Amino acid sequence: MLIVDDEPGALKALKYLLDWESYGFEVAGEAANGREALDRLAEDEFSLIVTDIRMPGIDGLELIRRVRELSGIPILVMSGFEEFEYVKACLKFGIKDYLLKPVAEEDLGRLLQDVREDLNRVRKLNRQLYHGMKAMRDQVLRQWASGAMRTQDAEERFRLTELPLDPSRHAACCLLVEMDFMDETDVFLTDGTIQVLRFAVRNIMEEIVGDGGCVFELTDQRFGILLYEERDRLTAEDVLSVADGVQVHVTRYAKVSVTIGIGDIVWPASSIPRSFAVAEKMLDRKFFAGGNAVIWKATFDEETPGEGTRELQPLLDAVACADEKQVHLLLKRQMERFAAGGARPAQVRSYMLELFVNLFHLLMKEGVRAESLFRDGGGSLAALEAKTISQLFAYAQTKCTEAIALRAASQSPQPVTTVEAIKRIVDAEYGSGTISLKAISEQIYMNPAYLGQLFKSAEGMSFNDYLLRVRMEKAKELLRKTDKKVLEVAMDVGYRELNWFYKKFKEYTGVSTSEFRAVK
C-alpha cells in the first residue's frame, strides 16, 4: 500500500495505527503530496492507496482523478474534513470509503478485510481469464497449424486471444518439441511431477520465444512453437537459434532433454499446415536420430532424386507381397541410380531412414510385433554413417527380408488394427500405474504423437480419456460389487495416489466414492 499525507505526524501515526501485515498489507511507500504519490506510482506497483484530501500542490481529489484515468486500484480516503462536496467528489471516482480522522482501528481493519477480499476475487478472475485465454489460444493454434481449422476462422480467434499474427502478411515456421523424459522415465514419475516438469518446460520455451512467436500444447509430451515475422525477416538462422536455445535452456534449467522437429518457413503464414507436417515428419526420425536432438531437413538432406522417392512405394508393395526377388531388384536399381547420379552420402542415408520408417508403419498397421527388426543397432544414425553405399543397401535388403519373415510368422488369424491393439493392451494393463501412450507405442513401434492422433480419429476421444473411462468404469464395478477399501480399488485400477483417484472419480461420475457406494 501507498500512504499519502502532507503531515509527517499523520504519516507516522497511520503506519503504526495497526498491524498491517495481519490484514495482508505492507506499507511499501509514502508520499507527502499528490505529485510525490504520482511519481511513486509511476515507479512501482501498489495494491492500495490511502490518501488525505487537503494537501499542497496536487491535492487528494486531483490525485484520485489522475489515478482513475489509468487504474482501478482501490483507494481509501482519510480526512479531517467532513464536507459533503469532498465526499461526493470522491465517491464519483469510485473510492473504497471515506473515513474521518481520527480513524478507529476496528473501522480501518474491517475495510482492509473487504479490500483484501475484493483484490483476491479480482486476481482469481484474472487468473481464470488468463488460463482460459491460454487454453483457447492453444486450441486455435493446434487446430489451425494442423490444418483442422480454416485461416479465416482462426483469424477471428487470434483477435479474441490478442495474438498479433496476420496470416496474410507474416511469414511463419512451426517447430514441434517432444519431451524425452516421457520416453524413458515416466514410469518413475507421479502425475504431479510430470505436470510440474511440463509447466517448467513450457515456461522456459515461452521466455526464449518472447514476442516473436507463441507456444501451444499438442499432447501430454509434445508442444508446438509458432514463430512469425514480417516477410523475409524470418530466416533459417532465426529458427535454428530458437531451437538451439530451447534445447540448451530446457536441459540446463528443467534438467530434462527435448527433441525438436523443425518445419519449413512458409509465406504467407496461412500455409502453416505445410510447415507443421514437415515438423511432424522430422520428429518421426527421432527413433533413428536419437533423442536430445534438433532435427530439420538439413540433418538428413532430404533432397533425394525424384526417381528414388517414387521407387519407395513399389519397394514397400514388394515387401507386403512377400516378393523377395522384386525387393532385391528394386534395391539394386535404386543403388545404381544413386551411384550414377553421384548422390551424397547424406542423400542415401535419408532414403534409408525413410525406408525404415515406412517398414515400421507397414508392420504396425497389420498388428505385427517387430521387436527384433532393429535390435542390432541399425536404428542408430551413427551406424548408418559408418556404412558404404553397398553395405547400406545390403543392410536394407536384410531388413526387408526380416520384415517379410515377421509378417509371415505372425500368428494373428486376421489383421489386428492399430487401434484395436491399443484397446486390447489397455484392457489387459489398465491396472498398471506405468501404462501410457508412450509405453504402448514402444510395444507396437509407432510414434506416440501419431498414435494418439490415430486413436482419437478412430474413437472420437483421446487415449487418456479412453484410459480414464476404462479405469473409472472398472472402479465403479469394484465399488458396487465388492467390499474393497477405496485405496484397494484405486490400486486395482492403476492409481498410486489416493487423492488423485478421488479427484478423477468425482470429475468422472459427479459424486464422491462414498456417495456412489451409498446408492449402490
- Residue 453's pLDDT is 77
Q: What is the CA radius of gyration of the chain?
A: 32
Please enumerate in sequence order all residues whose Cβ is within 8 A of that of 59, keeping only pairs 6 or more positions apart, or say none: 33, 34, 53
pLDDT tens readout for residues 272-315: 999 999 998 888 767 555 678 888 876 654 444 444 444 578 88
* Peptide bond just before 413 cis, omega within 30 deg: no
Mean pLDDT score, 76-105: 71
For residue 93, what pLDDT band results from cuts at 50, 70 and 90?
low
Kindly state the average pLDDT of the residues 491-510. 88
Report DSSP state, residue 22.
G
**Which of 38-42, 369-373, 448-452 is most confident?**
38-42
Higher pLDDT, 421 or 415: 421
Element (H, E) at 173: strand 170-179
Q: What percent of the chain has pLDDT over 70?
A: 81
Tell me what pLDDT residue 160 has.
79
Cell 514397400 found at: 316
Cβ proximity of 398 and 427 under 8 Å: no
In this prediction, residues 476-502 reach a mean pLDDT of 89
CB 208 within 8 A of CB 200: no
pLDDT higher than 50, residue 373: yes
pLDDT at residue 302 in the model: 46
Q: Could you give the CA distance from residue 231 to residue 512 in angstroms, rounded to a whole number?
A: 55
For the residues of 442-497, what is the DSSP string, one character each?
Answer: HHHT--HHHHHHHHHHHHSS-HHHHHHHHHHHHHHHHHHH----HHHHHHHTT-S-
Residues β-bridged to residue 97: 76
Q: Following DSSP, what letter does each residue of 60-81 receive, concatenated?
A: HHHHHHHHHHH----EEEEES-
The residue among 352, 447, 359, 350 whose CA lies nearest residue 402 is 359
Residue 400 has pLDDT above 60, yes or no: yes
Mean of the pLDDT values across residues 227-236?
90
Q: Return the pLDDT at 311.
A: 59
| 203: pLDDT strictly greater than 50 | yes
**Percent of the chain with pLDDT strictly greater than 90:** 16
Kind of pairing between the strands at 75-79 and 49-51: parallel
- Bond preceding residue 415 cis, omega within 30 of 0: no
β 222-230/2-4 pair status? unpaired
For the stretch 20-70, pLDDT in tens is 888 888 888 888 888 888 888 888 889 888 888 878 888 878 888 888 888
Query: So what's the pLDDT on residue 241?
Result: 92
How high is the pLDDT of residue 470?
A: 93
What's residue 375's pLDDT? 59
DSSP structural state of residue 177: E
Q: Residue 475: what pLDDT?
A: 92
Residue type, 116: R
Average pLDDT of every residue of the chain: 80
Q: How confident is the model at residue 371, as a pLDDT?
A: 59
CA distances (Å), origin 125, targets 13, 120, 131, 388: 35, 9, 10, 63
Place of cell 503506519: 15
Angle between helices 306-320 and 345-365 (to 10 degrees): 30
Q: Is-contact 516 476, C-beta < 8 A?
A: yes
Q: What mean pLDDT comes out for the span 77-91?
A: 68
> Quick one: angle between helices 418-429 and 463-481, nearest 10?
40
Looking at the predicted structure, is the pLDDT value of residue 129 above 60? no
Q: Which of 137-146, 370-379, 433-442 has the highest mean pLDDT?
A: 137-146
386 vs 181 pLDDT, higher one: 181
- pLDDT at residue 87 greater than cutoff 90: no
Quick check: 304 and 205 in contact, CB under 8 A? no
Contact 250/164 with Cβ under 8 angstroms? no
